[in-house]
Structure 1
Amino acid sequence: METRNTPTITVQSLINAPTKKVWEFWTEPQHITQWTFASDDWHAPYAENDLRIDGKFKTTMAARDGSVSFDFEGIYTDVQTYKLIEYVLGDGRKVSISFESEDNVTKVTETFDPEMENSIELQQSGWQAILDNFKKYTEAAV
């Protein structure tokens, strides 16, 4: 799939948790399945993650009513523990996630290449909704 000739899209959130916890919840499959969906009528029934350069990840996102599902997957190109994750999706789009910490608050910033099927606004709102779900899940967990 070709990408648009447009700038990247960025979403971000301040998570009220130390970076070690944020990193763990972002990267471990048992946590990934708890937050990787944009709305309550979706869920993530499966996740696998080989967090290393050239490692692969896959998360299945599915409608709770069983009507549709898809795999979100890619290959890591850079992993700097507690700081940065970069990967390439199956369609060639690049994604970068940075983690910045100050006083037990971690800023997570995701920057990604847009795809051509959906509007920039829809993509940004969808990825932001997933990031907001991550924030809610991470902050609620003890």
Structure 2
Amino acid sequence: MAQATRITVEATANAPVAKVWEAWNTPGDIMQWNTADPSWHSPSSENDLRVGGKFKHRMEAKDGSFGFDFEGTYDQVDPHREITYTMPDGRKATTLFTEQDGKTSIATTFDAETENDPEFQKQGWQAILNNFVNFVESN
């Protein structure tokens, strides 16, 4: 099996880590920020935040033309520090949260899938992360 391409996206939120952690993991909040483009939405979210727990976030085009479930199983949950999960196809992702001076840096590293160009994937994940930062800073 070929080595997976690893991609990292990063952003800093002007908010303490406790607020960032809550917005990152609360289904009602996830439904508000979990989109890469304004023509999409996230109409449902389930999150069992514990090792062995599962999450499933529905992502759909608002016009109903396309949609998918983004899901995984948690491998590591270190509150306010790290979340690692495995997606159904075996790819892994890790998100690290680092607070300094009341701001929180968020860095997610994930295994790229093979259907889409890695740069396209990075842009999509970065857009979602940027939406998250905008959400957490405005709430």
Percent identity between the two aligned chains? 47
Residues 32-43 of structure 1 aligned to structure 2 (within 5 Å): 32-43=30-41
Task: Give the partner amino acid of 2:53.
Answer: G
- Alpha-carbon distance in 1 for matches of 2:88, 2:5: 20
Deviations 1:98-127 (A, max 9, x none): 000001100000000010000010000000
Gaps of 5+ in 2: none
What secondary structure is seen at the aligned counterpart in 1 of 2:121?
helix
The offset of 1:68, in angstroms, is 1.1
Alignment correspondent of 2:123: 125
- Alpha-carbon distance in 1 for matches of 2:114, 2:4: 10
Residues 14-93 of structure 1 aligned to structure 2 (within 5 Å): 14-93=12-91
- Taking structure 2 as the reference length, the TM-score comes to 0.97
Task: Give the partner amino acid of 2:94.
Answer: S
State the 4+ residue runs in structure 1 displaced beyond 4 angstroms. none
RMSD, aligned α-carbons: 1.0
What secondary structure is seen at the aligned counterpart in 2 of 1:54?
coil
Gaps of 5+ in 1: none
Task: Give the partner amino acid of 2:17.
Answer: T
User: Would you say how many aligned residue pairs link Structure 1 and Structure 2?
Assistant: 139
